Amino acid sequence: MPELGNLLDRKRPIVTLARDTSSPQYFPFHRHARAQLVYASVGVLTVVTTQGTWVVPPQQAVWVPAGIKHEVRSPGPVSMRSLYIHPDMAAGLPAYCCVVAITPLLRELILEAVSLPNDYEPSGAESRLMHVILDKLQALKPTPLHLPFPQNPRIKIVSDALVSNPADNRDLEIWADSAGASSRTLARLFVKETGLTFGAWRQRLRLLAAISQLGAGQSVTTVSYETGYHSPSAFIAMFKRVLGVPPGRYFRSAPDSRN
């Protein structure tokens, strides 16, 4: 079967792929000629580019523009539903990667689309469904589940260490010696390179690590301590403050009955 993301038949504006796995998965860096909407109907996916990391819990998806080099991985079982959109049909959609919320209607449209053959008739009902999906994609709204990667070597020492151990609670005063810069310089560079303060960047890192671990089935208590929080209640308060709901409600989604 040809690589669907590189299928440039303009008569089929969207082609789809459904993939179900029962164990962790890793798809190394690659790119597509088509834009891709990566949706996890069950489980959690992480999409990584050279610019940052995006985490995809249930009810959300990552938008990856055509030509962007990226990798995809899952910490546990996942049901991945991908839409590949012809670049001519992606006008008006973001030119950058982002996590987007999936409405209940768009979710059902995606599940219906992946159940159809990709050689559908360009003038048939299946093609009309794909055009409805294109209309719905125009209303997608980005959500704050992106972790930008700094490139400056001085703060990259700090960011790489924290990615390896999100529970590390050292402040910039302590990091200054190993990074070879003052804490004030490091603080300025974090804002310049990521658009976030050091504290906000670390909180975002911990949030994304927590979503991935919770999606893999770890308990709230375990995740709380492994991401640097002193108690589960402090972790839950942060989670609710940023995402609007506690972890249990955030991961509550209807099962994909079309597997």
CB 85 within 8 A of CB 32: no
Of the candidates 89, 96, 180, the one whose C-alpha atom is nearest the C-alpha of residue 137 is 89
Q: Both 215 and 236 in a single domain?
A: yes
Q: Both 95 and 169 in a single domain?
A: no
Q: Both 104 and 196 in a single domain?
A: no
pLDDT the model gives residue 131: 94
CB 47 within 8 A of CB 62: yes
Q: Both 109 and 153 in a single domain?
A: no
pLDDT digits (tens, 9 = 90+) for 129-181: 999 999 999 888 887 778 899 989 999 999 999 999 999 999 999 999 888 89
What sections of 95-171 are H helices per DSSP?
104-113, 125-137, 153-164
Q: How many residues does the chain have?
A: 259
Among 80-84, 149-153, 216-220, the least confident range: 216-220
pLDDT the model gives residue 259: 43
Q: How confident is the model at residue 2 (pLDDT cuts 50, 70, 90)?
A: very low
The reported pTM is 0.76
Mean pLDDT across the chain: 88
**For residue 21, which phi and psi values (nearest 5 degrees)?**
-130, 150
Residue recorded with tokens 């690590």? 209
Task: Confirm whether 256 is domain-assigned.
Answer: no
- Of 116, 143, 170, the residue that ends a domain is 143
Q: Both 136 and 184 in a single domain?
A: no
Mean pLDDT to the nearest integer, 26-41:
92
pLDDT the model gives residue 56: 81
Distance spanning both ends of the chain, measured CA to CA? 21
Q: Looking at the predicted structure, is the pLDDT value of residue 222 above 70?
A: yes
Domain assignment of residue 241, given as a range: 149-250
Give the CATH number of the domain where residue 163 resides: 1.10.10.60
pLDDT digits (tens, 9 = 90+) for 55-73: 887 778 999 999 999 999 8
Q: How confident is the model at residue 254 (pLDDT cuts 50, 70, 90)?
A: very low
Mean pLDDT to the nearest integer, 105-129:
93
pLDDT the model gives residue 77: 84
Q: In the sheet that 60-64 helps form, which strands lie side by side, from edge to edge?
A: 14-21, 78-85, 35-42, 60-64, 98-101, 142-143
pLDDT the model gives residue 163: 92
- Of 143, 168, 193, the residue that ends a domain is 143
Please compute, for residue 154, the number of CA atoms within 13 A of its CA located in the half-sphere on the CB side. 18
Q: How many folded domains does the chain comprise? A: 2
